[in-house]
Structure 1
Amino acid sequence: MRVELPGGVALGPGKAALLEAIGEAGSIAAAGRRLRMSYKRAWGLVEALNADFPTPLVESSRGGAAQGGAHLTERGEAVLARYRAMEAKAVAAIAADLAALADLARRDVSHGT
């Protein structure tokens, strides 16, 4: 699900997955690898996310494998949690239609089989 907020801020599955992976891996590079995304692409998305909100969603520190890393800020955790909650509500709201559509895909309705 993709949501667009006032001011051109957009958040979708890719950015949410990146935030989640950063939170789990503690590294933008590791999160990018986990998502099969280049380091440049991951950094670009983090920079865009940080620019879209009044305070950063991700903070990083340099220093190599032993000292460097990244983590979600309190706002980053709140944005991810709110997005996942909205996603779950959307899935629940369309569950019956999704089941009906899946049923239509499984059988030939025009011939009653």
Structure 2
Amino acid sequence: MDRDGPRIKLRLEYDAPLVLGPGKAQLLRLIGQLGSISAAGRQMGMSYKRAWSLVEEMNAAFAQPLVDSSRGGAGGGGATVTPAGQAVLHHYEALERLLREKGAADLAVIGALMKREDI
């Protein structure tokens, strides 16, 4: 998206209790890419404890875990995004695209109604 244009941050709130937003979606993306909860957390500027806490929260909220992890040790640990996690991320990203594409006209109208500092 254009840096000067509006940004949409999709935040889904469920009774689970779970909030699924851009941060958790990015964490899932990075775990999938990097194969590690700690590496994903580091890339996002968060501690391993915080990243693990978010993964536990997501895993507890869904019928099937979104992330599968194995303990570290001599061979090292690792993490994978499960098929359920891939599905959640896919549908979250689909909702983001839908809002950007179908909401473009509404975003433009709201933007046009805003105060302009360059006048």
Tell me whether 1:13 sits opposite 2:22 in the alignment: yes
Normalised by the length of structure 1, the TM-score is 0.83
In the TM superposition, residue 63 of structure 1 has moved relative to its aligned partner by 2.8
Equivalent in the alignment of 2:44: 35
Normalised by the length of structure 2, the TM-score is 0.80
Structure (1/2) with the larger helix percentage: 1
In the TM superposition, residue 108 of structure 1 has moved relative to its aligned partner by 6.6
Residues 68, 81 of structure 2: 8 Å contact kept: yes
- Structure 2, unaligned stretches of length 5 or more? 1-9
Give the number of the structure whose alpha-carbon radius of gyration is greater: 1
Q: Secondary structure at the residue paired with 1:24?
A: helix
Matched residue type, 1:46: V
Q: 1:81 to 1:65 in 2, by over 3 A?
A: farther
Q: Please report the RMSD computed on the Cα atoms of aligned residues, expressed in angstroms.
A: 2.3
Q: 1:85 to 1:65 in 2, by over 3 A?
A: farther
Q: What is the identity percentage for the equivalent residue pairs of Structure 1 and Structure 2? A: 54
Q: Which runs of 4+ in 1 moved over 6 A?
A: none
In the TM superposition, residue 9 of structure 1 has moved relative to its aligned partner by 2.5
1 or 2 for the larger relative contact order (CA 8 Å, sep ≥6)?
Answer: 2
- Structure 1, unaligned stretches of length 5 or more? none
| Structural mapping, 1:69-88, within 5 Å | 69-88=78-97
